[in-house]
Structure 1
Amino acid sequence: MPNIPIRTTVVGSYPFPGWLEFVSQNLDQFGAADIEEAIEDAVIAAIHDQTTAGLDVITDGEQTRLDFNLSFYGFINGIENNTSDTRKFGPPAHDQRGKNNIIGNLAAPNGLGAVKEFERLKKLAPKGPVLKASIPGPYTLAGRLLPNGTYKDRYEITEALLPIISNELKALVAAGCTEITVDEPSMSCYAYKADTKRFVDIFNRTVKPIKEKCNLSTHLCFGNFKGRPVGYRSIKPMLPDFLDMNVDEIHIEMANREFAEIELLAPFAEKMNVAVGIIDVKNYYIETVDDVVQRINRCLKYVPAEKLSVAPDCGLSQTARWASRQKLINMVAGAKKVRGSL
């Protein structure tokens, strides 16, 4: 990782502009060129907001994705959407997200689309910030696929997806991507009741082809569908096994949990760099610059400045753009203030 103390970064997603939501809900009214222009305009807007804030690391805002991982299923052969079991009404929860039946061998002969996203970001981004790509890991991606006679449980589905994810990671590196996040929030959500050593083995085998070839990170959170968590929100079950993940940086949600278990950042910092979520994406309270300064100083008690990055807890896709923009501006201003005082 570039030797920038208190590096400012993001997880991946950014809110869709209103026009992109309109296009996505009325695709039959637009031609292919119209759709691509709308996507490029949305990526330009996401880049603008991130670079105006002054982030050290930016993404394309995942402007071509639905719900951070559901869009990836459109690239995978052997599945069909299942809407019969999806709850349609009532308060939002994860059972309103789509699922898929497996009807054949899982394969993605044309990749998962992440390389195209990164190439677009390279074309549109200014020089200066580091460009990051993110992709869900196989255990998380397996979560919306229903087992069948061939793939009998989530772990068997995960094993089938693992080489697909690994190939996409290799393609990103080949395209010149130097910063990659593998999102595995399902691992952090279910660490309290699952085999965490098995999780680590799955993760390490997934990223093995690109280890040492980029700045590799993982994002571990407790869910953010419609601004709501889904998992048991504790870091403790991840330890000590998650310390064996082969990553350069681990991203941990903190702000939404009022910095509970902040002392558990220390063992992670002994093994890797730590990106701390200091901005609450589930709350419309706009953290002030002083708030950010105080939170970073709390983190510095457990993570050295040269190993610390700061970011929002999760992707910002579920947070209104006006709030996302100001939260990032204040986060960067606070980080620069602390950085200047070191």
Structure 2
Amino acid sequence: MTSHPLRTSVIGSYPFPGWLEFASSNLDQFGSEDIKEMQDDAARVAIGDQLDAGLDVITDGEQTRFDFNLSFYGFIEGIALEAASPRRFGPPAHDQRGKHAIVGELAAPRGLGAVEEFERLHRLAPAGTHLKVSVPGPYTLAGRLAPNDRYADRYAVTEALLPLVRKEIEDLLQAGAQEICVDEPSMSCYGYREDPRRFVDIFNRTVEPARGRARICTHLCFGNFKGHPVGWRKYAPLFPAFLDLHADEVHVEMANREYAELDVIGPMSQRYDVAVGIVDVKSYHVETVAQIAEVVRACLKFAPAERLVFAPDCGLSQTARWAAKKKLVNMVRGVRSVRESLGVA
């Protein structure tokens, strides 16, 4: 269950400050201590913006990652990190991102880096702040690795990565993480053409170490590469199978889809908390407080307040910071207005 009704949260990523983007392109000019200082400063920026907005749950903004999952490949042994892009010209889209070749047994003896991120967040955030850390699920992580003779298809790659993600979750628990989001957007992107029950089995085996020990979330969206989706944007193919996910909270992208399939949150809320995406990260329309409140009330027609969480549709890393800040402020104010009207503030 949620810590209180109508909680406000985020998915994970947050826009890089302009100086961080510049510095990231010129890392050869910085020393190791400069980089550590830069990482702390960037995390402080993301933490500060989220706290200023009044969110109930915050992250580190994934300020030390490249994209929400691409940095994890730097921790995995057995792959060639130079991914050849199949298309370099024309409009930016997912098909411009190549796949890493697998050159040996997949392993991550140093972990995947999420523990260090959580420890930084815990150190920098005010005491008592509700913190969330995210890791990509194995099926999503397998998407950028090319199958070979050893790993025949994406599912074989997924099975090889699954224990690596499980170990990262175990290490996060040991570090004190109390809310862990296992992001699996590839499952929602491709659920229409795959067996959703197989996805459920993969997810449940991945999060098994954390059951009953931490709040487990997952994020199911349809992709957001430079503001573009990649999958067929329908949740219907995932259900009823996905009602059996061993998760405490499941997030669904709704704002960008103009709240199509909003009724799906009804049966979902009977099995776990539902985080509804009510901020469109792909649009520069800043949702008003009144618009947010209207959507919250619409959600209450399908699910009880104690089962509802509200967040942006996806991570905010590809939304300009000025817009992200305004969107979060209005999201929190809109949700709070409904919370107060219900007397559950």
TM-score relative to the length of structure 1: 0.99
Q: Please give the alpha-carbon distance, in whole angstroms, between the structure 2 residues aligned to 1:108 and 1:248.
A: 27
Cα contact 2:2–2:307 (8 A) shared by 1: no
Partner of 2:286: 286
Deviations 1:163-186 (A, max 9, x none): 000000011011010011000000
Cα contact 1:81–1:98 (8 A) shared by 2: no
Partner of 2:124: 124
What secondary structure does 1:182 align onto? strand
Partner of 1:196: 196
State the 1:327 CA deviation: 0.3
Partner of 1:302: 302
State the 1:86 CA deviation: 3.5
Question: Percent sequence identity over matched residues?
Answer: 63
Deviations 1:168-206 (A, max 9, x none): 001101101001100000000001000111000000000
Partner of 2:172: 172
Partner of 2:55: 55
State the 1:264 CA deviation: 1.2
1-10 or 170-179: bigger deviation? 1-10
Structure 1 outlier segments of 4+, above 6 Å:
none
What secondary structure does 1:275 align onto? strand
Structure 1 vs Structure 2 CA RMSD: 0.9
One-letter amino acid of the structure 1 residue matched with residue 48 of structure 2: H
What secondary structure does 1:88 align onto? coil
Question: How many residues were matched structurally?
Answer: 342
Cα contact 1:136–1:183 (8 A) shared by 2: yes
| Structure 1 spans left out of the alignment, 5+ residues | none
State the 1:127 CA deviation: 2.3
Q: Please give the alpha-carbon distance, in whole angstroms, between the structure 2 residues aligned to 1:336 and 1:278.
A: 14
Deviations 1:13-45 (A, max 9, x none): 001111111111111111111111111111000
Partner of 2:43: 43
Deviations 1:27-80 (A, max 9, x none): 111111111111111100000000000000000000011111110000000001
Cα contact 1:14–1:61 (8 A) shared by 2: yes
State the 1:267 CA deviation: 0.8
Q: Please give the alpha-carbon distance, in whole angstroms, between the structure 1 residues aligned to 2:85 and 2:311.
A: 35
Q: Please give the alpha-carbon distance, in whole angstroms, between the structure 2 residues aligned to 1:90 and 1:133.
A: 35
| Structure 2 spans left out of the alignment, 5+ residues | none
State the 1:89 CA deviation: 2.0
Please show how residues 90-105 of structure 1 align to structure 2 within 5 Å. Answer: 90-105=90-105
Please show how residues 179-258 of structure 1 align to structure 2 within 5 Å. Answer: 179-258=179-258
What secondary structure does 1:122 align onto? helix
One-letter amino acid of the structure 1 residue matched with residue 210 of structure 2: I
Cα contact 2:74–2:81 (8 A) shared by 1: no
Cα contact 2:84–2:98 (8 A) shared by 1: no
What secondary structure does 1:271 align onto? coil
Q: Please give the alpha-carbon distance, in whole angstroms, between the structure 1 residues aligned to 2:310 and 2:132.
A: 15
State the 1:98 CA deviation: 4.0
State the 1:97 CA deviation: 2.3
What secondary structure does 2:81 align onto? strand
What secondary structure does 1:134 align onto? strand
Cα contact 1:189–1:233 (8 A) shared by 2: yes
Q: Please give the alpha-carbon distance, in whole angstroms, between the structure 2 residues aligned to 1:85 and 1:315.
A: 24
One-letter amino acid of the structure 1 residue matched with residue 78 of structure 2: G
Q: Please give the alpha-carbon distance, in whole angstroms, between the structure 1 residues aligned to 2:125 and 2:3.
A: 22
Cα contact 1:23–1:35 (8 A) shared by 2: no
